[in-house]
Amino acid sequence: MKSRIAGTGSYTPSRVMTNTELERMVATSDEWIRERTGIRERHIAASGEACSDLAVQAGKRALAAAGLAASDLDLILVATCTGDYPLPATACLVQHQLGATKAAACDLSAACCGFVYALSVADAYVRTGMRHVLVIGSEVMSAITDWSDRNTCILFGDGAGAAVVSASDGEQGILSTHLRSDGSLCELITVPAGGSRTPLSEQVIAERTHFIKMKGNETFKVAVRTLEEIARETLAANHLQVEDLDLYVPHQANMRILKAVMERLGLPIEKVMLNLEHYGNTSAASIPIALDEAVRAGRVQDGSLVLLGAFGAGLTWASALIRW
């Protein structure tokens, strides 16, 4: 028994924040942002619009694409680092709003790698008996973004992407997943305060340590290296070459990172799904949004060989190889 992606969906908030708007908030410019990141705009959740709200919309679209009802689901996994509450799990709120009365539900936290990690978990559950698992990457990164820090506020956006993973007897499906982590590099991307280590306090708020912090140069080097390594490892595990790929869907973090990875792998840009300029870095939602757009644009066809590649806080990195 294999698992396959039976349907995809995505959703982004209606509000679009352009680089020009950011010029009025911090010392930056549209040109500076585009040159260093490739980002032109990003979507920002409205006041009162939470992680679960985005997730539900993406989930509904994925279910419709798969031709399934919410009542068909056995499990819902929500990959996020910006859930509605510390508890309960955002997945439980999604389960209720979708009406997935038979489904178990839980969250998975692996930052930008979250969707690929959750996809790997879904694959394992389907291979051991479940029929349909809804995997969602949903983030409201604007909630943990310091809008006075020009090094980070230019990078992030909000959104959600989803995939229905279903049992299949055919040759098509998820061929393999590969998950890695290195906690010794945890300080490269972190929200230093707001958890049990350093609870929220007046001092934390004054020092703004409850917002995301990044060491950009160090992160760039690790990201390029790990994305190349795990791509090659994944292809080798399946006795395939880079040339065999029909589409590479990487985490949409920074165009400089993605160009460096493409160059190292020898991948032409025509075989890479890029939508960074319109969404920014949406963390766990990045890959499923890009994948859904690729599917709906016809860039993924029956038989296509698709590689997903992610890296993120933890540090974590991950991949999944799929025969569509």
- The catalytic residue among 19, 254, 275, 281 is 281
| Residue 249 vs residues 85, 86, 145, 153, 322: alpha-carbon distances, Å | 30, 30, 25, 24, 11
Residue 311 is predicted with a pLDDT of 97
Structure tokens at 186: 């945890």
How far does Cα 251 stand from its chain's mean position?
Answer: 6
| Other Cβ atoms within 10 Å of 182 Cβ, number | 13
Report how many domains make up the chain. Answer: 2
Point out the catalytic residue in the list 112, 132, 178, 210. Answer: 112
The mean pLDDT value for 220-245 works out to: 97
Average pLDDT of 257-283?
A: 97
- Same domain, yes or no: 20 and 42: yes
Does residue 1 surpass a pLDDT of 90? no
For residue 49, is pLDDT > 90? Answer: yes
In this structure, are strands 15-18 and 132-140 parallel, antiparallel, or unpaired? unpaired
How far are the Cα atoms of 79, 145, 204, 283 from residue 83, in angstroms, in the given order?
A: 9, 14, 20, 12
DSSP letters for 178-225: EEEE-GGGGGGEE--SSSSSS---HHHHHHTTTS-EE-HHHHHHHHHH
307 and 187 in a common domain: yes
User: Which residue's structure tokens are 């300029």?
Assistant: 277
**Residue 122 gets which letter from DSSP?**
H
Same domain, 7 and 151: yes
Region 119-124 average pLDDT: 98
The last residue of a domain, from among 121, 139, 171? 171
Q: Are 33 and 129 part of one and the same domain? A: yes
12 and 103 co-located in one domain: yes
Gap between the Cα atoms of 78 and 52, Å rounded: 9
Average pLDDT over residues 182-206: 96
Choosing from 92, 153, 251, 275, the catalytic residue is 251
Could you report the per-residue pLDDT of 13-36, keeping only the tens digit for each? 999 999 999 999 999 999 999 999
19 is catalytic: no
- Give the residue-averaged pLDDT of 169-188: 96
Question: Helical H runs in the chain?
Answer: 19-23, 30-37, 51-66, 90-98, 114-127, 150-153, 202-207, 216-237, 255-265, 276-279, 286-296
- Is the torsion defined by CA of 112, 228, 298, 278 positive or negative? positive
pLDDT at 171 over 90: no
On whether both 241 and 267 belong to a single domain, the answer is: yes
pLDDT mean over 43-67: 98
Residues 275 and 313 in one domain: yes
Q: Is 240 exposed, middle or buried (0-12, 13-18, 19+ CB in 10 A)?
A: middle
Q: Which one of 128, 155, 171 terminates a domain?
A: 171
Annotated catalytic, 178?
no
- Last-in-domain residue among 171, 198, 223: 171
Neighbour count for residue 16 (Cβ, 10 Å): 15
Are 301 and 254 members of one domain? yes
Work out the average pLDDT over 118-123.
98
Q: Work out the average pLDDT over 58-78.
A: 98
Calculate what percentage of the chain has a pLDDT beyond 90.
Answer: 98
Annotation says 251 is catalytic: yes
What band does 91 get if pLDDT is binned at 50, 70 and 90? very high
- CA-CA-CA-CA dihedral for 129, 130, 136, 137, to nearest 10: -20
Same domain, 118 and 198: no
Residue 76 in this model has a pLDDT that exceeds 90: yes
Residue 17's domain comprises 2-171
What are the structure tokens assigned to 64, written together?
């419709």
In the prediction, which pLDDT does 170 show?
86
CATH number for position 305: 3.40.47.10
* pLDDT, average across residues 140-163: 97
Q: Residue 152 pLDDT more than 90?
A: yes
